[in-house]
Amino acid sequence: MNIRNIAVMFYSGILVSSVGTFAFNLALVAFMLKANFSLADATLILALQRFIPMLFTAAWGHLTDVIPPRRLIAFAEIFASMASVALYFVWQEANTNYLLLAILCVTRSIVVSFQIGSRNRINKFFSDDTYSGNARQAIWFNKATQGATLFSGLLAWFIISNFDLRFAIIVDAVSFIVNGIIAFMIPNIEFAQATKTISKWSQKFRDLFTINRQAITLDMILVTSMMGTVAYTSRIAGNDQSWIGIYTVSYGLAVWVSGFLERSVTNKISSIPFFSVLGLGCILLGVVPGPGSVSLLICFVRDCAFWTIFHRISGHIQHDTPDNKLGGVSSARSSIMVAIFATGEFLVGLGAPKVSLLSEGILRASVALCAIVYLLTQTRTRKASKDGRSIL
């Protein structure tokens, strides 16, 4: 089997698994609210689903540099499907045992999150030594993971409108099984191991900030501006939670559109105007009342700006990271992002009764402004590089 066919199998499996995961998370929030749980209850589970797996990834994510990636992904997906099956029997709507629900959701997320380093190792295998090759595969990886929201949003909208959470759980479990089977079918790929001895857990964080300090700093600011995405989208949807799915479709479409533009049009433009659009979009979402076509358009433009920046940062980090350290570095980056997103889910849900959407939008715009100030002080990041990489 040639490399191209292996890549298609790899991305297809991740896409299927990601669609099921995102659809479940969106449906979980909507159906918990329908079952008279508070937004804070729902977002606490979302936060725990991010925060606790982040701790595991931070502590042991570097092990993905020494464990065969194909095998790890396959077993992780099958185990995650078993956790989903358990969720099916636990969900009893308003009578659901909240603690048990949270434990199973977190367990499922731990298994999924741990394989991030393995996925990135396989993804880099498909790249050549050029920045262009690494950027191309990094964008395809983003499309297969976060771009899955284009399809999961539609699926979540369909499930929320016509079924219950148990249907979403079934879809989630099946998607894990499908990706696990695909991972088993992928031929063995030879990888250089980081070392015969396991490095300290902290080494991957040192590597991350040493390899490209500017890119990861910008990465953290960018993610902070969009922290608590699911809870934030739920607030924008207001009384009609079926709009969560529609907004998520827009989010996923933005991943794909911005990926195309970043490869051909926007890569020579500084990230400053995109951060400006991101901040302005957050403010406008606090001005436009309720869900509708206008707020949907604003979300799409805002998300295109976000993903244009995220794609180029991913390309920089993947290109600059040695093959034998990519598992650990990817895990470290993921841990930082998840910690920020998890904190955001909790804070957005907790502050929803007291903080208006406009005030929240202004806070997010202020974070985007910090990125602009940072970029203005880093003049060399706004100049074209000799290796043809996108301008930070």
pLDDT at 62: 72
Choose among 296, 18, 39, 295: nearest CA to 142: 18
Residue 110 lies in a domain: yes
Between 263 and 24, the more confident residue is 24
Please indicate, yes or no, if residue 146 is contained in any of the structural domains.
Answer: yes
Rounded CA-CA distance 57/174 in Å is: 25
Judge whether 9 lies within some domain.
yes
pLDDT tens digits for 245-265? Answer: 788 888 889 998 998 888 888
Who contacts 179 (Cβ-Cβ below 8 Å, separation ≥6)? 13, 14, 16, 17, 73, 77
Return the DSSP state at 164.
Answer: -
User: What pLDDT does residue 82 have?
Assistant: 93
Q: Examine residue 130 and state whether it is found in any structural domain, yes or no.
A: yes
Q: Is residue 325 part of a domain?
A: yes
Q: How many helices (H) and strands (E) does the chain have?
A: 16, 0
Question: Would you put residue 48 in left (φ > 0), alpha (ψ -120 to 50) or beta?
Answer: alpha
Within a domain: 249: yes
309 part of a folded domain:
yes
Number of neighbouring beta carbons within 10 Å of residue 370 = 14
Backbone angles phi, psi at 228, to 5 degrees: 65, 40
Torsion sign, CA atoms 226, 228, 233, 239: negative
Residue 336 pLDDT class (50, 70, 90 cuts): confident
* Neighbour count for residue 95 (Cβ, 10 Å): 7
pTM of the model: 0.77
Going by C-alpha positions, the residue among 333, 63, 338, 323 that lies closest to residue 208 is: 333
Any idea which residue has 């396989």 for tokens?
Answer: 122
For the stretch 124-180, pLDDT in tens is: 777 776 777 777 888 888 888 888 888 887 888 889 889 999 999 999 999 999 998
Whether pLDDT at 109 is above 80: yes
Q: Helix 293-320 and helix 213-225: axis angle, to 10°?
A: 160
Among the residues of 163-292, which ranges form H helices?
A: 165-185, 203-211, 213-225, 229-237, 243-264, 272-287
CATH number of the domain residue 106 falls in: 1.20.1250.20
Q: Which domain holds residue 299?
A: 3-186+201-382
What secondary structure letter does DSSP report for 96?
Answer: -
* Total domains, the chain: 1
Instruction: Answer whether residue 191 is part of any domain.
Output: no
